[in-house]
Amino acid sequence: MKQKIEYNNLIPINAYLWCPKPYLQPLHFHSSLEMGYCLEGKGQFVFENKQYKVSKGDVFIVNNTELHIAQSAQHDPSRYIFVNFDPSLFLEEDEKLLLPFAYRSERFENHIAAGTTLAQKIGSLIQQIYEELNAKAEGYITISRCKLLELGVTLLRHYRTAFSNEQWLKMSKSQREIKEMMIFVKERFLEPLQLTDVAAHLGWSSARTSRLFKEHTGSSFLNYITQLRISEARKQLVTNLDSIANISFSSGFQSLASFYRAFNSVVGMSPQEYRKQFGVKQLF
């Protein structure tokens, strides 16, 4: 089951408290990357083909394709801070930061045990991100992004030792190719861009491009492009007074009808309602 992630901040990152149910819920995945830090209690963290016992101080790393769910112990419920974020935050800075998440499920150790120096450092950074995003003090977006990048570097240095040089070089090459793909998409999404255009630019087949896009983003090419265009439209709706029609076309949509359908589906309200609720006066 795919879980829809809505980001509540100006950059695509969320941090929240969560207490898992004391019974096993359906496994899910999402297009975001995820890190979880257990604050208290016990339970288990279940993946497709493995499961881990959980105790206070444990850390879990989850990519955007692996099915998973956390479960609390019946008489000692667990409580976590989870951080979800879009892969683009790492890709824009250094594609190597995505390597710890580019794993094959059956061979990857998602669990970083409580009491280790690594778990303590990651747990502290996760808590700081949570506190910043909830307090929303001056500069909170900048410091949250910096803390997330520090988390990425910490994980990169840790997982580097788990791979041979040959494996690491192969993974690095793959991430460079993915970065080129994503940069091309972000530079061209306001145009009538097709999957075949991306494939032709990279010299790949459409099938390979579609597969890698899905593996990297957890989303289809069409859905990802739609999300980018909706994000652009949301920004324009609260930062300028252009007509809805002009904003729809300048955001990459080819018709007003398709814009309205997509906006309502993704945001849950019409563009007019969004502008009224989050208008320019509230932003500045």
| Domain locations along the chain | 13-160, 165-219, 223-283
Q: What is the pLDDT of residue 198?
A: 94
65-75 as b/e: b if 16+ CB within 10 A:
bbbbbbbbbee
**Closest among 110, 112, 134 to 17, alpha carbons compared:** 134
Tell me how far apart the alpha carbons of residues 246 and 23 are, in angstroms, rounded to a whole number.
50
pLDDT at position 1 is 65
Burial pattern 173-191, b for ≥16 Cβ within 10 A else e, equals ebbeebbebbeebeeebee
Q: What is the pLDDT of residue 243?
A: 94
The dotted CATH code for 223-283 is: 1.10.10.60
The domain defined by 13-160 folds into Jelly Rolls (2.60.120)
- CATH topology agreement for domains 13-160 and 223-283: no
- pLDDT averages per 10-residue partition of the chain, 284 residues: 78 95 91 95 93 97 90 97 93 85 72 96 98 95 97 91 71 78 90 94 93 81 92 90 94 95 92 84 42
Inter-residue contact 2 to 28 (CB < 8 Å): yes
pLDDT, position 102? 76
**Cα 220 to Cα 210: distance, rounded to the nearest angstrom:** 7
